[in-house]
Amino acid sequence: MRREDIKVLLMRAPGTNCDTETVRAFRDQGVQAHLVHTQRVFRERNLEDYDVLVFPGGFSYGDYVRSGAIWAKECEYRIGRELEAFVDEGKPVIGICNGFQQLVEMGFLPGWEGRSIYPEAALGNSTRGYQNRWIRIKYVGGGNCGIMAGLEPGYILRCPVAHGEGRFIFPPEQREKLLERLYNKDMLVWRYVKADGSFAELDWPENPNGAYHDIAGICNPEGTVMGLMPHPERAYYGYLMPEWTRERQPPQYGDGYPFFKSIVDYVEKKIQA
Amino acid sequence: MKFKAFVYVSLKSGYSDPEGDATAEALRGLGYGVEKVRASKAYQVTFEAKDRAAADELIEEMCKRLLTNPTKDDYRYELSEA
């Protein structure tokens, strides 16, 4: 299959945002990116037509109950089987911000033993309320998360966060054990860091929401489902980066470019193999 | 039989609660000697079940599947015949 035949499905729902930016980033990578309303996907139940599934950022259904909860449950009872089949086939699923919250609420992340009935983690209230700022995250994956394997080890991505509920937490009584499990299975993909590249160690604003162990993004044990709170699509082009006004000629691409390139390169290689 | 459940959801102790903190600050600003506020949510759920035991089971399930995230939330409910 050629790169231009790869089909990416971005589902949108009432309250999602950044979906257009995400579509644009994928299209720039030379693939087909389809932005489809969630109700249409529920009707057509045609996930098998796609190679990558993305849940974008936003505030789906007004964040009623909890961020991502309503859309997650709606997906569960409308296309739960199709979603599970998609994941079981090893096709990549990516959740950005609200999409990450949704994957946790649906039980796909962390997904220790496959999809769980109840959430096994939470993206709780940020310790300082709503946070909308540029942050740095470091790629700390060791290769299990194939869609990110195209990144240089230790790659630092600067991009915005914009959320009120994004503080990654495990149940307090199990958190050390579960963190060890994340490391053992190479499921820890992104951590918040300071300007010098050292981990934020919960310092604000580098860790913007008080996330446990500075966790910004994780994947499932198989490495095919990944969620992260920050927004790489908002840093895809050079003119989106915060320093662009200080440069005579901003670079064509920003820090988010390698993120999307890595996903598409992975799918292209996988399909060819 | 028709049942009504009042479900109260609150953050587990130890979790930061910016909404509660901001509310406490505002109440202090209004001159009240407020020490602490913890925000919580309440749902009033009316539903059918064959008997009280079944209703208990159903509302427990609703709490765990949607109304709370067991990682961070505590909940309790009051169940009565509607």
Q: Which of B18, B65, B70 sits opposite A127 (nearest CB)?
A: B18
Q: Domain map of chain A by residue range?
A: 3-272
What number of H helices and E strands is found in chain B? Answer: 2, 3
Q: Which of A18, A75, A97, A145 is catalytic?
A: A97
Segment B64-78, tens digit of pLDDT: 999 999 999 999 999
Q: Does B46 touch chain A (CB under 8 A)?
A: no
Which distant-in-sequence residues (6+ apart) come within 8 Å of A133 by Cβ?
A: A160, A161, A205, A208
Q: How far is A162 from chain B (nearest CA, A)?
A: 16
pLDDT of A1 higher than 80: no
Active site (annotated) includes residue A173: no
Residues of chain A neighbouring B67 (CB-CB closer than 8 A): 65
Q: Centre a 10 Å sphere on the Cβ of residue A65 and count the other Cβ atoms it contains.
A: 19
* Band of pLDDT at residue B5, cut at 50, 70 and 90: very high
When the candidates are 3.40.50.450, 3.30.930.10, 2.60.40.10, 3.40.50.880, the CATH number that belongs to A3-272 is 3.40.50.880
For residue B19, the domain's CATH number is 3.30.1280.10
Could you give the CA distance from residue A21 to residue A252 in angstroms, rounded to a whole number? Answer: 15
Q: What is the pLDDT of residues A210-256, one digit of tens each?
A: 999 999 999 999 999 999 999 999 999 999 999 888 888 889 999 99
The model's pTM: 0.95
Mean pLDDT of A35-55: 97
Residue A97: active-site member? yes
Query: Does position A273 have pLDDT exceeding 80, yes or no?
Result: no
**Mean pLDDT value of segment A90-111:** 97
What confidence tens digit (pLDDT) does each residue in B15-67 have?
888 889 999 999 999 999 999 999 999 999 999 999 999 999 999 999 999 99
Question: What does the pLDDT look like over A60-99, one tens digit per residue?
Answer: 999 999 999 999 999 999 999 999 999 999 999 999 999 9
Number of structural domains chain B divides into: 1
- Domain containing residue B36: 2-81
Q: Which run of H or E residues covers position B28?
A: helix B18-29
